[in-house]
A and B are shown apart, each in its own frame.
Chain A
């Protein structure tokens, strides 16, 4: 008896353990690259990018090891690394897919200025005319040099009443447009990007993030004492972390100054696309079960593996097909969105393996290859497109060129590679829609809950259907009216005949 009971007991415990273990192993199964579906569920996808090579100081044969590099800039086939800790800029040339060679090391420049050295350069940009713009953060200036490193001019602290005399100017990130106007992200300036005209005059602030108004806090402030007020956070716009100017001259800006609850309530946008007036024109049309798909990185912000909170987007870059990628320094992930704000892929993570980061800080691209700079590892990771990624980009390119049939076929191949890739279904649907195959397009949109595109297809389908069946529709409507009318008429006639005196004999 005792044996039987203990056996049942062990069996029960074993079953319990098995149940628990099977559940946990299922939950932890996440691939290197993933995506979110309509329901916000994580869907593993094939790799979109794979790390081709990781370059450290040793691989690059540098005389001095990189020291806390802060920025990366790509111009044609040259890669510039801001070796901030060593006060210099390293120019690398990409000679083949997997090799970077040191071209020159820029430590000083020539010209008519006292201080010809950098102090902690954090970013640079090269204009169309070939002039160098360097954010010399430690010296509080933005330098403009010609391509032979001769000094041309500086952009200094903006003369604005809102900036006190005691504030030091610390330009950290810069972008330059085609007319050599400079837009700068500076530490402590939260009114947006500092804009300079080409001649160096300060032209105002561009694209301040709108202030989040909190009614509860407003009420609190009404009753708070002076001491409490000073301890409270003030309503100020958030600073940008980084900016990127795309091929059309729009500025993509991102900020890591976000709070979880603001993101979830849709009060702040960490990624913005600014037009000339500084208005946010980023499209957020992704399909999601509650509203539009959020462009703020990871949807789930729970803690795990020592990381918690929202994605902290620290750098952004945009390809010529309007796909933009942001870099999350919190979990070391890359998020890529297409021009409609739909998530293309998420990859990366924290760690020491190739393709994982410890403290990523900079992101740029060459063609469709991505370069990620890690300030703690002092390494540059080069990502190249996989076959899967190339398929997706090809399908998008074909669609934009108007080759809808080919685009549909390419998306079909994407579906074969990954049946959980929502964008592929919508891509096939959009291609079918342009080919006027409305019914098939509707089926694809319905599969992935794309109600906007479904409605577009259905509207056309309905129109065509009505036009084809107009005769039947008219007949049915007439019948609906005429049949009861005739029946009524006949009945009343019968009644009249029956009750009429004329027929009474």
Chain B
């Protein structure tokens, strides 16, 4: 019979635990099945997170075999936030001949990195929301070839980060790409955009908008399609213009989905690393994650790197809280 128990086929090695499992309550069964997932998460997420925090409370020991020194409490954080931490001369000397990280050349790196990360997150999410809304409105229509338009809008989202980086690296490479020439003609870019902080920031921003707008579009589209079509018919009969239908029906009803999408994108944008690393390089556009890697690899300051990493997590949590509060207010039905 096909519904033989697995215990019969699997031999005694598998049968014993399975038999034991049969006799347990549902609650024990639930915990047993959750064990592998939580084991994996514990090894890769919970334990490292706690360790990162513990490391961040230790002193840097740049020269010794063990990269961590004695316990120093929150000194690393204090040093980072007040700007006393000196990284090796990394990105002071190279870039910042222009005024982009408006905090000034000799400003502490953390401030530069914090500014770059926040500016990037806010600007990219803003543009992605606007353009994504446009794409979602297009995809919400019924037209011939809709499936293929959707495919081509999703494709940038699905490509590897390194290839996204490569496309924009080539596009703005002064010798082969036409991007630099075009932007210079507009009067925006300098001679070698990929080594100037301002220009590179714009390139990274555009690259990110190009790739991830599709994600926003899909989530907003899901929100759009959950709207009762009858509402539009009623509005049409009452003489509402398309703009009014958008303003008074679409926008309020899609707001919860929009906020969730923005929350996801903001979290993701705050982690920006790969795109920067494969186009302009971490020294030119220092994001928070870049700072972790620089502290780790260039100067072997593991404790400082841990502090920056934990600060990044704290900043992201702060954003998440803001969004969750906004969602609660908009009655998004979030538990």
**A and B associate in one complex:** no
Which positions in B face A, CB cutoff 8 Å?
A: none
Which positions in A face B, CB cutoff 8 Å?
A: none
